[in-house]
């Protein structure tokens, strides 16, 4: 496993502190994940194709994004159109190198500003994920482009059935292969103490939203959260490559603080329910079936982390439960700006 941490401060005053790490997992021969964690972009790409092809696809995606002038350090000018153009360049490059036999998912966020107001510009292609913990509210922002998500949205299977469906790893959008490569975008104002997490499905496939929420809510430093989450995923089975990026925002409008972690009313973690509904846009069933995720004690998420890094009162219970709906202040960008494409691509990936 590799992990590094970093911090940066932009001219506008917004301060970012972040950590990141990746692990091959316990069953994969290669690590086909790639990631970027450098102001203003934080992204994770999960390659698919095997025999090093997936590794090439994810690497080329991240490299293309990192070479964009509009995404250089300190820049806050990127738009959804800029990102979509960069992703199309990555798609073309991957097809050229692999003859369209490999692909990659990608999800992440870019810190941008509009009239001096900071925003998270979240983007997604495939089933890697971007989550947000803000003012005590935890939610998955991105929406999976996967076959089971389509089945759930169509009412064909239930959320519980999606968790164990044999085609739960089949994606419906990817870069480098298939005909549907367009990204979805969301724009959200940055709040004081915001924490964003981007991950490959090697994490979300092993841990429930409750377990992810617990680590993000109680571990004060982003690198501690990254390391704890990766170790928990490995203890849960580590069946896929695991990559996690966590970034914190502070000093919004010159008001330095840690609302998400230090506010006594938001730092506490809700009682674990056992429901592992990690797919977005899923209506709640009348009765929640028993969790199909591996049975992991709540304390395992925080195992080996010193008490000094835990937020005060982190283990206490509150009434606000995590939700799998997109945050209320997140809104997708105009569909005319990012045209929709048709469902066409199916491929198991690691």
SS3 of 168-222: the string is: CCEECCCECCCCCCCCEEEEEECCCCCEEEEECHHHHCCCCHHHHHHHHHHECCH
Q: State how far the Cα of 93 lies from the Cα of 40, in Å rounded to an integer.
A: 23
Over residues 72-89, the pLDDT tens digits come to: 887 899 999 999 999 999
Cα 73 to its chain centre, rounded Å, is: 21
The pLDDT value given to residue 7: 65
- Residues 105/176, Cβ–Cβ less than 8 Å: no
The pLDDT value given to residue 324: 42
Contacts of 170 (CB under 8 A, 6+ apart): 146, 147, 148, 346, 347, 348
> Is the whole model's pTM more than 0.85, yes or no?
no
- Give me the phi and psi of 186, to 5 degrees please: -135, 145
Q: State how far the Cα of 58 lies from the Cα of 47, in Å rounded to an integer.
A: 5
The pLDDT value given to residue 106: 98
104: β partners: 47, 175
Those residues of the chain that have pLDDT short of 50 are 11, 257, 262-325, 334-350
The pLDDT value given to residue 2: 54
Q: State how far the Cα of 252 lies from the Cα of 195, in Å rounded to an integer.
A: 13
Tokens 């940066």, residue?
8
For helices 222-235 and 209-218, give the axis angle rounded to 10 degrees.
150
The pLDDT value given to residue 347: 43
Q: State how far the Cα of 210 lies from the Cα of 295, in Å rounded to an integer.
A: 12
114: β partners: 117
The pLDDT value given to residue 327: 60
The pLDDT value given to residue 343: 33
116: left (phi over 0), alpha (psi -120 to 50) or beta: left
Q: State how far the Cα of 149 lies from the Cα of 175, in Å rounded to an integer.
A: 18
- Which of 72, 108, 101 shows the shortest CA–CA distance to 87? 108
Contacts of 200 (CB under 8 A, 6+ apart): 33, 44, 46, 105, 128, 240, 241, 242, 243
CA of 286: how far to CAs of 4, 213, 283, in Å? Answer: 43, 23, 9
Query: Strand, helix or coil at 95?
Result: helix
The pLDDT value given to residue 192: 96
The pLDDT value given to residue 158: 82
The pLDDT value given to residue 59: 97
């Amino acid at each position: 496993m590799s992990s590094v941490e970093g911090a940066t401060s932009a001219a506008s005053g917004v301060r970012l502190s972040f950590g990141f790490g990746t692990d091959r997992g316990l069953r994969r021969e290669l690590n086909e994940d790639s990631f970027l964690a450098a102001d203003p972009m934080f992204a994770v790409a999960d390659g698919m194709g095997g025999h090093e092809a997936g590794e090439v696809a994810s690497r080329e995606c991240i490299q293309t994004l990192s070479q964009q002038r509009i995404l250089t350090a300190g820049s806050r000018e990127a738009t959804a159109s800029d990102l979509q153009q960069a992703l199309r360049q990555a798609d073309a490059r991957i097809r050229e190198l692999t003859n369209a036999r490999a692909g990659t998912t990608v999800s992440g966020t870019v810190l941008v500003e509009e009239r001096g107001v900071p925003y998270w510009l979240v983007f997604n292609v495939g089933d890697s994920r971007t989550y947000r913990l803000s003012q005590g509210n935890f939610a998955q922002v991105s929406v999976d482009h996967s076959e089971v998500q389509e089945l759930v949205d169509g009412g064909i299977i239930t959320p519980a059935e999606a968790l164990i469906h044999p085609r739960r790893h089949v994606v419906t959008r990817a870069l480098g292969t298939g005909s549907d490569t367009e990204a979805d975008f969301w724009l959200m104002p940055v709040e004081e103490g915001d924490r964003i997490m981007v991950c490959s499905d090697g994490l979300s496939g092993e841990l429930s939203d409750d377990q992810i929420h617990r680590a993000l809510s109680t571990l004060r430093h982003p690198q501690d959260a990254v390391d704890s989450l990766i170790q928990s995923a490995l203890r849960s089975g580590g069946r896929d490559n695991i990559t996690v990026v966590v970034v914190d925002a502070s000093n919004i409008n010159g008001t330095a603080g840690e609302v998400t972690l230090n506010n006594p009313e938001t730092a506490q973690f809700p009682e674990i329910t056992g429901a592992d509904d990690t797919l977005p846009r899923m209506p709640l069933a009348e009765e929640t079936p028993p969790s199909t995720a591996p049975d992991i004690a709540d304390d395992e998420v925080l195992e080996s982390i010193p008490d000094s890094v835990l937020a005060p009162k982190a283990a206490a219970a509150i009434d606000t439960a995590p939700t799998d709906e997109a945050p209320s202040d997140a809104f997708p960008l105009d569909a005319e700006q990012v045209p929709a494409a048709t469902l066409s691509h199916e491929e198991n990936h690691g």
